[in-house]
């Protein structure tokens, strides 16, 4: 297996698993079906694990630069003598307002991979409308073909600090310009309220707006630039919401839409989703994640518990390249180290149990080393204060039985030394 082929296959797997690696087309008019690519990637991942480990190691070895490959894959890992992958720096201007850090304690997660085709998603609570899990070119997704409503259930009420992540595939506009009106709406609680203490957030590929919680349309409306809209249609768009008490931030892909210090979003044990779709304008969901942000400050967590866990450092599947969405977490770690000159840390890499134990161990080691290299190269941290260790799937935080558990186990831990 060649390195370039392995990178392509694993990138497809990651996108279809609902992880944030950029926009991946799910359009039926694609030149090559994503299902075929995913099947090929899964076969490579399951049957050629030893080769995968070799590819991961080879990607960290020194080699001559290939200008043609650099042009084709601008985010490929640079190669350095100490065998750690250094991510190419993301465009600072594009990502300057992206400060989303996902919660580290999962309250709900589904990528529909464990659901039965033809049924409604078992993790969600059905309310109304035509919605079912379908196998779309080999990928399980939740398809909505008409006005529908369902709930995201959690074992407890939403905490004051939480994050909501929804990966959604919006249809291409029938007229080439206007998208589905009120395509997605989310609000805390099982019933529509939109009262003074219950904000309802509406998202479309052309704009977003808020009703309730002290906000109203059109004053709360935010227009999405026309140049960005094509990247949100016919492809997976990544919606990210961060709430800290009343503070509300919302992003679509790398763009921040809202940065509001006060918004009354109801804390309930469910989040209600309304979807507006039709047979002609079908909406698909590829993953949903809700997580609690347990600790505000990294140093406080290290002082209190001796370690800090994050799922906010993202990698391509089977690779040690750090994705640009990881910038906020890397900044947090670097800032903490600079503020506390006597602090030394151990970076632990952890994986789920998909694949062989040997390849997972090698991959987690390479990822931990890549984080150290990024902190030193991109953020000016003294590398002598950082050690790294890969633990593979040997220290699961929770059982790997379900997709939610595997998502929780794919993590990086910072340990005080």
Each residue of 308-356: pLDDT tens digit?
999 889 888 789 999 888 999 999 999 999 999 999 999 999 999 999 9
The answer as to whether 97 is a domain residue is no
Predicted pLDDT at 200 = 98
* 121 plus 27 within the same structural domain: no
Query: Residue 225 burial by CB count (10 A; 0-12/13-18/19+): exposed, middle or buried?
Result: exposed
* 252 plus 349 within the same structural domain: no
* Separation between Cα atoms, residue 171 and residue 391, nearest integer Å: 41
Predicted pLDDT at 215 = 96
* 195 plus 239 within the same structural domain: yes
Whether 201 contacts 187, CB under 8 Å: yes
* 112 plus 184 within the same structural domain: yes
* 138 plus 57 within the same structural domain: no
Displacement of CA 367 from its chain's centroid (Å): 17
Whether 58 contacts 162, CB under 8 Å: no
* 194 plus 80 within the same structural domain: no
The list of the chain residues with pLDDT below 70 reads 1-93, 295-296
The answer as to whether 245 is a domain residue is yes
Q: At what angle do helices 357-379 and 49-58 cross, to 10 degrees?
A: 20
* 261 plus 299 within the same structural domain: no
* Separation between Cα atoms, residue 123 and residue 19, nearest integer Å: 18
Domain boundary pick from 250, 277, 292: 292
Predicted pLDDT at 295 = 67
Domain of residue 118, CATH code: 2.60.120.560
Burial 388-415 (b: 16+ CB within 10 A, else e): bebbbbeebbeebeebbbbbbbbbbbbb
Domain boundary pick from 243, 264, 292: 292
**Phi and psi dihedrals of 128, rounded to 5?**
-165, 165
**Phi and psi dihedrals of 395, rounded to 5?**
-130, 65
Q: Tell if the pTM clears 0.75, that is, is over it.
A: no
* Separation between Cα atoms, residue 215 and residue 222, nearest integer Å: 12
Predicted pLDDT at 86 = 40
Condensed to tens digits (0 to 9), the pLDDT of residues 178-209 reads 889 999 999 999 999 999 999 999 999 999 99
* 405 plus 312 within the same structural domain: yes
The answer as to whether 373 is a domain residue is yes
Predicted pLDDT at 59 = 41
Residues 6+ apart with CB under 8 A from 415: 306, 307, 345, 346, 347, 348
Q: Which domain holds residue 376?
A: 1-92+295-417
Predicted pLDDT at 177 = 77
Our count of domains for the chain comes to 2
Predicted pLDDT at 92 = 57
Domain boundary pick from 292, 317, 343: 292
Predicted pLDDT at 64 = 37
Predicted pLDDT at 374 = 94
* 140 plus 268 within the same structural domain: yes
Domain of residue 338, CATH code: 3.30.1330.60
Predicted pLDDT at 57 = 43
């Amino acid at each position: 297996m060649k390195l370039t082929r392995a990178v392509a296959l694993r990138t497809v797997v990651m996108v279809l698993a609902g992880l944030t690696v950029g926009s991946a087309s799910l359009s039926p008019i694609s030149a090559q079906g994503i299902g075929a690519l995913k099947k090929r990637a899964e076969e490579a991942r399951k049957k050629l694990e030893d080769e995968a480990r070799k590819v991961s190691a080879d990607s960290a070895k020194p080699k001559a630069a290939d200008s043609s490959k650099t042009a084709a894959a601008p985010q490929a890992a640079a190669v350095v003598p100490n065998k750690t992958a250094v991510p190419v720096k993301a465009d600072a201007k594009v990502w300057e307002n992206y400060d989303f850090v996902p919660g580290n304690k999962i309250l709900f997660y589904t990528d529909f991979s464990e659901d039965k085709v033809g049924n409604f998603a078992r993790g969600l609570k059905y309310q109304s409308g035509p919605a079912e899990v379908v196998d779309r070119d080999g990928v399980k997704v939740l398809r909505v073909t008409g006005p529908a409503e369902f709930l995201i259930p959690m074992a407890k009420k939403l905490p004051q600090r939480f994050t909501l992540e929804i990966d959604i595939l919006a249809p291409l506009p029938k007229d080439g310009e206007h998208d589905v009106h009120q395509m997605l709406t989310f609000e805390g609680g099982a019933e529509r309220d939109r009262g003074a203490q219950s904000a309802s957030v509406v998202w479309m590929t052309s704009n977003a707006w808020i009703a309730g919680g002290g906000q109203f349309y059109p004053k709360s409306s935010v227009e999405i630039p026309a140049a960005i809209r094509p990247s949100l249609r016919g492809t997976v768009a990544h919606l990210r919401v961060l709430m800290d008490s009343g503070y509300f931030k919302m992003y679509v892909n790398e763009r921040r839409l809202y940065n509001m210090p006060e918004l009354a979003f109801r804390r309930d044990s469910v989040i209600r989703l309304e979807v507006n779709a039709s047979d002609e304008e079908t909406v698909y969901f590829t993953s949903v994640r809700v997580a609690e942000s347990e600790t505000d400050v990294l140093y406080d967590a290290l002082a209190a518990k001796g370690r800090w866990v994050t799922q906010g450092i993202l990698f391509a599947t089977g690779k040690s390249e750090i994705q640009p969405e990881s910038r906020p977490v890397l900044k947090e770690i670097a800032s903490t180290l600079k503020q506390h000159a006597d602090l030394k840390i151990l970076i632990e890499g952890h994986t789920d149990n998909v694949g062989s134990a040997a390849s997972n161990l090698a991959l987690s080691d390479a990822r931990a080393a890549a984080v150290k290299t990024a902190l030193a190269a991109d953020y000016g941290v003294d590398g002598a204060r950082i050690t790294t260790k890969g633990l593979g799937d040997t220290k699961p935080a929770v059982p790997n039985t379900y997709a939610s558990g595997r998502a929780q186990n794919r993590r990086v831990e910072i340990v005080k030394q």
